[in-house]
Amino acid sequence: MRPEYGAAFAPGLTEPRRTPPADVVARGGKGVVRRYNVYRNNVTVSLIQALADIYPAVQRITGAEFFRAMARFHVRATPPTSPLLFEYGRDFPAFIAAYEYAQDLPWLADVARIERAWLDAYHAADRPALDASTLAAVDPARLMALRFEPHPAARIVRSRHPAVTLFTLAQAEGAPAPLHAHGAEDALITRPGPHVIVSRLPAGGAAFLTRLLAGKPLGAAAAAAFDEAPAFDLGANLAGMISAGAFTTLQPGEPT
């Protein structure tokens, strides 16, 4: 297919009201619109299924019928820009947040953001995770100046809703369990080995880890965490993040 022909042929595949390109023909006298609609339907169905594969927890929460109706609107509004289907739907969480019929589910977009982060972590580069013994060997005088190299798979999703609990419940087999959690939950998504891990961060943990992943020294990250959560446990949080595989190496700083 000539590039210019593909550029004319493709846009109407996700726009049902758009007429087929003028140079599209059908063999045997068959209607051009009818044949073009076959392509259009196949593309739409494939993209909806791609979204269902990327966001299975969202679909389980909403039910297949609601999800596919929502996904169809998204497909029409946002055609793919990459030939890789796993890249599709990056803006689906934002679409959900603005979707008229999902306003009664204000946490749904954050569950979708966790799922998107899960997929990105799954496809991230493999790197050995930082070993706790490496940190234990650091001179205490240099500890607060340390910088942590983030693992390529490490992601944070902040939510004003119990999104981590909802995501976890949606992974379980059988009928969904009752939701007992409430309030904000922040997610840490990592992949220290072959499997992606989704963890709920304690209060102050997201502020702490966000700064470490941005290259800030340990002392500055800890200060931000204590500002947000005065009861923040520095040792426990750091140990948990190392155990989850959020970092790869340490960069020493000047002693304090």
Residues 30 and 88 in one domain: yes
- pLDDT (0 to 100) of residue 236: 95
Looking at residue 82, its pLDDT comes to 78
Integer CA distances (angstroms), 247 to 98, 147, 240, in order = 34, 10, 11
Is residue 239 domain-shared with residue 201, that is, in the same domain? yes
Find the angle CA(236)-CA(226)-CA(216) to the nearest 5 degrees: 85
DSSP state of 177: P
CB-CB contact of 247 with 130 (8 Å): yes
Q: Residues 180, 76: one domain?
A: no
Same domain, 135 and 244: yes
Distances (CA, A) of 79 to 40, 43, 75, 147, 165: 12, 10, 6, 40, 31
Residue 80, pLDDT score: 81
CB atoms within 10 A of CB 83: 7
Whether 241 and 145 map to the same domain: the answer is yes
CB 188 within 8 A of CB 118: no
Q: What is the pLDDT of residue 57?
A: 93
Q: What is the pLDDT of residue 39?
A: 57
Task: Show the domain range for 186.
Answer: 123-256
**Residues 255 and 143 grouped into a single domain:** yes
Same domain for 152 and 38: no
What pLDDT is attached to residue 114? Answer: 98
Per-residue pLDDT of the chain (256 residues; tens, 9 = 90+): 444 434 444 544 555 555 555 455 555 545 555 555 555 667 788 889 999 999 999 999 999 999 999 999 999 888 888 777 778 899 999 999 999 999 999 999 999 999 999 999 999 999 999 999 999 999 998 999 999 999 999 999 999 999 999 999 888 766 555 555 578 999 999 999 999 999 999 999 999 999 999 999 999 999 999 999 999 999 999 999 999 999 999 998 766 5
pLDDT value at residue 172:
73
Domain stop point among 74, 105, 136 = 105
Last-in-domain residue among 46, 79, 105: 105
User: What domain count does the chain have?
Assistant: 2
Pair (77, 139) in one structural domain: no
Q: For residue 4, what pLDDT is reported?
A: 45
